[in-house]
Copies of this chain bind each other. A is one copy, B any other.
């Protein structure tokens, strides 16, 4: 590992990566060697892959194994939900930090899963083969999803210590089976005070240089003991220097470089603006909510951070897509590829109509996308990724889970296949507290949005609200008994009949809207998604045929590796250094949130410990 600093955390912002988020099985080692005189070989890549970790559960994140006994380093915000879930009104680990002096003092995170990528194999032939000759539609969808569920189940062999995901790369151009070692017993070891972990807060978020100690340590346990992790990243006492080649291993969420112009236009004009407006509004609402009492701050703050972070992510995307030069560049690339396809008769026949198919899928989806989002994706019931109403999430999982489990694995909705069950159960039976006050707030907000987006006369709105106001209905819904994990377990064990018979108000709501929600899902999966997938598969195939596999696939929250040299840059005539030094945090401290250091840091500075 000579000359290599693998420290995704501290240097990520300063290191300007060369182009690419590569899969571990298609890493451009030769290109790296040509430029940096270091060629990552198979052994090196395997070591890097096994020392990297993926965090799933209530947040998706990247992390590193950093000791032989299961210690994992990640960002503070990646463990934030766990830290908050372990906190109480009396003991607030978010504000005060957490430290377990001995491993036995570590506390179990209710909803964190850690995955270690053990193996990648190509299953393109099986997945694509299942739909060979089929037109987009029901059968296409059934066969494709069935094939994926079958492959995953066979791979995991039913063990919940193994996780197998069929990963759709190049939007269906390639299907890879990612086999992970799965850790479901994950415990919190150390987290600093949020005031220093998120120092600079939202104003400094996404800026560089940035001064904060955005770190936490968690540990994976196995059979009641810290797990043995022979592959891990060692700390470099000297750190990296300017010019060093650096590799960043992680799980980027989702990119959209391979989307067609029709899909990008939908993103630019419909999806991103709508998502941003939702985030802006809930951000405003939640900001005032958290200001109304210290307890509301405690229970709502992690959500607010998540929203602020997402807002910046989507805003950046939107700003990129409305940049005329970027848009013209993408359009030009698509035009060029299509021209090259059309110039070859055989390619034209196979791929020529693929872009139009995708455009047709987008056009057909758009008129009902608000209904799909509100009812099936559940925005109308506060199902917003990362800032969900927990009660509705649990209720829908119980309802659909007990229904889906009646069916063979291959015929279930993707999120209820055997491969997904361990994570589903972890969330469904999570001991993390659910706060009535926050639930009521979110549900009232979401139900107001449901009425606003679909209109007061929409049948689902009429059915859900009747003569009630959103606030009134929310107040009734939060009387649910689903706060209690035992109640959830009983319903799950009681199976479909128990859930169907339940008079819990939240279960009733989930049942009430499920016919329309499932109808929308069926329409989406069979009519829209298959048309889009079949188009995307052919576009990817055309790209491989004409351009080769020299480009990396869009990010899919699966392990990737990128590289680049540690390097500063010029901005507005000023040199930006690639390193941030701890001392800078003291210059920036104003004593006022979010530039307020915790007492421990102020003391350490006074005592010259830093």
Contact = CB atoms under 8 A, between A and B. Distances in A.
A331 interface: no
Contact of A284 (B202, B282, B455, B469): B282
A270 B273 CA distance: 12
Q: In which size bucket is the chain A interface?
A: 35 or more
Nearest to A322: B269
Contacts of A285: 284-285, 287-288
Contacts of A456: 200, 203-204, 595
A37 interface: no
Contacts of A518: none
Interface in A150-208: 200, 202-204, 207
A469 B204 contact: no
Interface in A584-601: 590-593, 595
Count chain B CB atoms within 10 A of each CB in A280, A282, A452 and give the residue with the most: A280
Interface in A261-282: 265, 268-270, 273, 276-278, 280-282
A289 B277 CA distance: 19
A292 interface: yes
Contacts of A595: 456
B203 A469 contact: no
A467 interface: yes
A574 to B, nearest CB: 11
A354 B486 CA distance: 73
A283 interface: yes
A102 interface: no
Given A287-B285, A288-B288, A322-B270, A203 B452 contact: yes
A427 to B, nearest CB: 27
A437 to B, nearest CB: 12
A408 to B, nearest CB: 40
Contacts of A377: none
A283 B278 CA distance: 11
A455 B204 CA distance: 8
Interface in A48-80: none
A467 B590 contact: yes
A502 to B, nearest CB: 27
A122 interface: no
Given A207-B455, A592-B472, A284 B273 contact: no
A380 to B, nearest CB: 13
A451 interface: yes
A265 B270 CA distance: 16
A469 B595 CA distance: 9
Contact of A283 (B207, B284, B286, B468): B284
A591 B467 contact: yes
A286 B455 CA distance: 22
Interface string A311-335: 0000000100010100000000000
A278 B284 CA distance: 9
Interface string A450-490: 01100110000000001111001000000000000000000
Nearest to A312: B452
Nearest to A468: B592
Contacts of A469: 590, 592-593
B467 A592 contact: yes
A285 to B, nearest CB: 4
A271 to B, nearest CB: 11
Interface in A76-116: none
Nearest to A324: B265
A318 B324 CA distance: 18
Nearest to A277: B280
A318 B265 CA distance: 14
Contacts of A287: 284-285
Contacts of A200: 456
Contacts of A281: 280-281, 283-284
Contacts of A284: 280-288
A469 B201 CA distance: 12
Given A278-B280, A281-B281, 11 more contacts: A270-B322, A273-B276, A273-B322, A277-B280, A284-B286, A284-B287, A285-B285, A292-B292, A466-B590, A467-B590, A467-B592
21 contacts: A200-B456, A203-B452, A268-B322, A270-B322, A273-B273, A273-B322, A276-B277, A280-B280, A280-B281, A281-B283, A284-B285, A284-B286, A284-B287, A285-B285, A285-B288, A288-B288, A288-B289, A456-B595, A466-B590, A467-B590, A468-B590
Q: Please provide the 5 A-B residue pairs with the shortest distance between their CB atoms, ordered closest to farther.
A: A284-B284, A284-B285, A269-B322, A281-B284, A469-B592
Interface of A: 200, 202-204, 207, 265, 268-270, 273, 276-278, 280-289, 292, 318, 322, 324, 451-452, 455-456, 466-469, 472, 590-593, 595
